[in-house]
A and B are shown apart, each in its own frame.
Chain A
Amino acid sequence: MIPIRSYLRLFSGYLRPFRRTAVLLAVVLFTAIGLQLVNPQLIKAFIDGAIAGDDFSSLVPIAVAFMVIAVVNQGLMVWATYLAEQVGWSATNQMRVDLADHVLHLDMGFHKSTSPGALIERIDGDVTALSNFFSSMIIKVIGNAVLILGIMVLLWRESWIIGLTVSVLILITFIGLFRLHGVTVPWQKAIRATSAEMYGFIGEQIDGTEDIEANGATGYMISRFDAIQRRWLPETVRGWTGWAMMWSAAMTLYFASLAVGFVLGAWEFTTGALTIGGVYIVLQYIQMVHRPVEQIREELIDLQKAGASIERVQELFDRESQLTRRDSRTLSSGPLAVGFESVTFSYNDDGGKETVLDDVNFSIAPGRVVGLLGRTGSGKSTIARLLTHLHEPQQGSVQIGGHDTRDIDLVDLRHRVAMVTQDVQLFRATIRENLTFFDPTVSDDRLHEVIERLELADWLRSLPNGLDTVLDSGSGGLSAGQAQLLAFTRVFLRDPGVVVLDEASSRLDPATETLLERAIDHLLEDRTAIVIAHRLSTVHRADDIIILDDGKVVEAGRRKDLATDPESLLSSLLATGMEEVLA
């Protein structure tokens, strides 16, 4: 029921560095429980002593000892909680990082089929469930179980018949509460689902006020809001009813235990088997056992849920990247040669009719600028993704600097091959962090130098905190054009030997694009470049042209030759004079 085995398999490696803390934790916890069990015995001694007529001086130390033990016990419990939380969170944080690391290195096929939301659930949601598993397993479940056992032992010691009856009642309590819980689980699920729906709805609304107001839809949206609340109310009331049922059930069984204590206590007292102090602590222990039973019930339910989390996390760890990675070669500095040798590629491994690239061959000498033309879907972006080893071909070889991408050290490859896509991803972080991808080693001087070169300095000065300005999430409060300029800055900050511009400027207005031309010229200087575009003008700086159609190279050659050859595809495209004929 409780997935302890699979949990240990997953988690024991992470716990190992905290072995000593764990031992300390156990010592502290068990001492605290011992003290908690001992204390009522002092009350018994006190009452029986007082009844027997012991004098003041022998009773006072008992009362003082009672208070001291109580304070020490509570202090130890706090300490145990602190230790358990520290270990739980430190160990699971390491697991989170490892899991994120693992996921980031999985192939793009995996990422295309898994939403960021699902990954957040795995890496944060599920792992947090594991961290709670640890701290609550130790403190709440083991601690309370030991406490309950201790109480039972002490009750049996006072009177075996009371011990037996109370044990049975506690067993019934557990079973009854779990049954009831089974009934209420779907009720709670419904509430959570509606709550998520409501706040999802509200989030969307706030994001879309412009659309809603300008399209006169506020009345409609409020009626949808009302509809969610209307559904949510009876669910909430039912949830409270469930809680009332659990509470009433636990309470009734608690009073049943007390009644048992009353009756059997009285009987044992009249037969002389129990002193009056004995009866007192029997009732005291019965009251003490009530809370741990409740807590264990709550925790066991949480722990059951953790089972699913453990399974999902393990599954994610077991998933392997589909990319070949041999890391046996490094790239030289300076511009790099690029070559495609009989490359055939399909996004589905089974290939077939969804072939995106079909026996593509070309080679680019170091330092050449190549314009890659073709309609949407002709395979241009796929070539970029193969060059950066986000995917690998089913047949043939993609080569950079004379090595197959599968052989090149991936860190080196990603460092030396830069790509700018149309879709710029920004983070809710400072401009500096966005530009450096959180690399703290990039100096401000270097940043300023690049920003100056990109003529972004004026814009940066207009920001309230310069490089430390925090971008909002989503669009980042930037226009599409500005975001594109930041993406260029990212590439400038590195020293790539190959630059791939994938329709990089399509979101810029023409005037801003003109502004950027000089900067791009500078970037491409002494580098191999592949400029992907569906606008002819974007490739006017190209030395060579490759035209793709339906996954095949249909024309390749020097731009000047092709442009002047009246038979070429390029010159016929130019002749039509249309601005985006290939779009």
Chain B
Amino acid sequence: MSDKTAPWFGKVMWELIKRQPGRYALAQTLWITIWSMQIIVGIIIARYFDALTEGITSSQLVSVVAAMFAYAAGRAVIIFFGMRNHGSLLFRAGALMRRNLLGRIYELPGAAAMDESPGEVVSRMRDDVEHVVEPFDFSVDITGAGIAGIISFVILWNIDPVITVVATVPVIIVGIVSNRTGGIIRRYRIDARAATETITGFLGETFAATQSVKVAGAEKHMLARFSSLNDVRRSMMVKDRTLTAVLEATFRNTVNISTGLILLLAAGRLGATGSAGISIGEFALFVYLVTQITETAYFYGMFVARVKQAKVSVERLTDTLAGEPWERLVSDTPLYLGESEFMPSETRQAPAPFRVVEGRGLSYHYPDSDAGINDIDLEIKRGEFVVVTGRIGSGKTTLIRTMLGLLPAESGTVVWNGEVVDDPSVVLTPPLVAYTPQVPRLFSMSLRNNLDLGTGLTAEDLAESIHIATMTRDVDTMDDGLETMIGPRGVRLSGGQIQRSASARMFARRPQLLVLDDVSSALDVETERTLWARLFESRSDVAALVVSHRRAALAMADRVIVLEAGRVVASGTAAELESSSDEFRAIWAGTPNGAQVLDG
């Protein structure tokens, strides 16, 4: 169904070029110029030495120096404009890939675990995108270096074919070595980075858990672990740096050995007159241009190694696209990078009034696991308060997520007002439905933006939602009120405040159906009770689907659905279930009350 194998890298590069043909053509032209013009320096040096041996005149000297400065000035100008163009070219290529990846991630079912941890996805979007951009960057160098290398070779060939061939042999070695080691070094570097990430991750966890570590008296063991992680990284870092030094040494040695070979072959002919002789100028040109050719070979080797790396990165990024072909990564998507460009706002039609939503025969199982839900029917009508309850692992959260399309249902359908919904994750969103997960996430922006999410709510709307969520007093005590920056993932708020902010966010969407996963770990009973009371007071016609095992919610429910091992084992009001369901009684009786204290 989808082509998951990585394409020939040229195809990816061609797509990237097609996105910005003008910038790429300019970059290519400038880089060919930058590389080729270096040959001029060699020629100037050669002319200088030849003039010197023949008795240099001051006008010759002036022209040599003038040529040098003209060259430097011209090159500086090209570098200046070339770099500006290049920066923009490369940035846009990376930006496009990041944008396409993020777009795809939003399309996937929100609660389905990705194959990679969030940290890994971030590092892919940073490092793998970078690895794809690198050979794209190098491609202009490689053309420039190639052309400069060929010109150099032709010039030398015309002076002395034998010396040229012999002196270029070591160059091939550079190409091979840089290709090989270039790949290994990048692998070491990736390993070293992974080792560093492990270390910082471990330190972060340790210091987030200092109290637990101290209380458990585990400092010694934690440090031993830290020390062994450090050792792993040291060996990777040393390998990386040493091999980098080897590569550089090989490059410099090749230049030296080529120079030595030129010396050997030129011995006896250097300075001699006649056609067999080699002038000092020619010798200087030889050494200079062999360096140039070596550099070409070095770049070529690095380029090939980077293409290899990039292929792996494209494969990984295609994985992250989860089923989409690689073309999606580089597909033409507007980036709105110009100051004057703006995002078109999405408009959604006002929905028909909600009557009833049903889940029919819903099933979902977690990958490589029996855990999940089996063939569940569920119905919520306008104005109803439905509570899903059950033990840990009975499938309460899974049911809600599958219903909302946040997990891809294996079978079953979701029906809204009698019509089958094809993609619940798109349809069952505000303003029809809003949802607060068990562990809600907030984002690193102001509290207002977290609640508003770009919909432009009025102050009254916001205030009302905050009131229902029993959050008014918290907002009042914050230094900047609604404009308070709540930090990454909302770290500047307490757990209860995050939960209530997320609830306010849900209320602010003014949905017709509210879906709320267990709030008991973050809200105490009184607060939860207040929240429900306020909600039904001000929004009497909404329906709510709630996961809870608290008596407060159970007793209030129009219907309680009891799950056990992923199946519905009973449903009805709390009073009905108390007599009909053992599982419900276990949950209800497990709920503590005063009598047990007296009996115990």
Contact = CB atoms under 8 A, between A and B. Distances in A.
A85 B241 contact: yes
A103 B223 CA distance: 11
B91 A201 contact: no
Contacts of B382: none
B333 to A, nearest CB: 10
A438 B218 contact: yes
A119 B207 contact: yes
B234 A263 contact: no
A90 B234 contact: yes
Given A90-B234, A244-B82, A390-B211, A438 B222 contact: yes
Interface stretch (A335-343, A354-362, A532-540): A532-540
Contacts of B224: 438
A111 B207 contact: yes
Contacts of A56: 267-268
Contacts of A208: 441-443, 489
Contacts of A425: 205, 208-209, 212-213
A6 interface: no
Contacts of B118: 203, 206-207
A232 interface: yes
B214 A104 contact: yes
Interface in B72-103: 72-73, 75-76, 79-80, 82-84, 86-88, 91-92, 95, 98-99, 102-103
Contacts of A272: none
Given A262-B61, A276-B280, A577 B56 contact: no
B121 interface: yes
A364 interface: no
B61 A101 contact: no
8 contacts: A120-B203, A207-B441, A209-B105, A230-B337, A237-B87, A251-B72, A262-B68, A509-B390
A53 B277 CA distance: 12
B434 interface: yes
Given A204-B443, A233-B88, A241-B84, A82 B337 contact: no
Contact of B79 (A248, A280, A283, A578): A248
Number of chain B interface residues as a range: 35 or more
Contact of A508 (B392, B506, B526): B392
Interface stretch (B301-309, B465-473, B583-591): B583-591
A417 B436 CA distance: 39
B284 A280 contact: yes
B413 to A, nearest CB: 19
Sorted nearest first, the 3 A-B pairs with minimum C-beta distance are A537-B592, A510-B590, A414-B217
A376 interface: yes
B336 interface: yes
Contacts of A101: 219, 223
Contacts of B533: none
B250 to A, nearest CB: 8
A511 B590 contact: yes
Nearest to B400: A214
A222 B65 contact: no
Contact of B549 (A90, A510, A538): A510
A119 B203 contact: yes
A575 interface: yes
B124 to A, nearest CB: 10
A352 interface: no
A579 B525 contact: yes
A415 B218 CA distance: 9
A364 to B, nearest CB: 19
Nearest to B82: A244
A427 B205 contact: yes
Contacts of A494: 216
Interface string B51-66: 0110110000100110
Interface stretch (B10-18, B143-151, B158-166, B256-264): B256-264
A81 interface: yes
Interface string A262-278: 11011001100000100
Interface in A393-446: 411, 413-415, 417-419, 421, 424-428, 433, 436-440
B592 to A, nearest CB: 3
Given A202-B102, A541-B600, A89 B337 contact: no
A466 to B, nearest CB: 14
B223 A232 contact: no
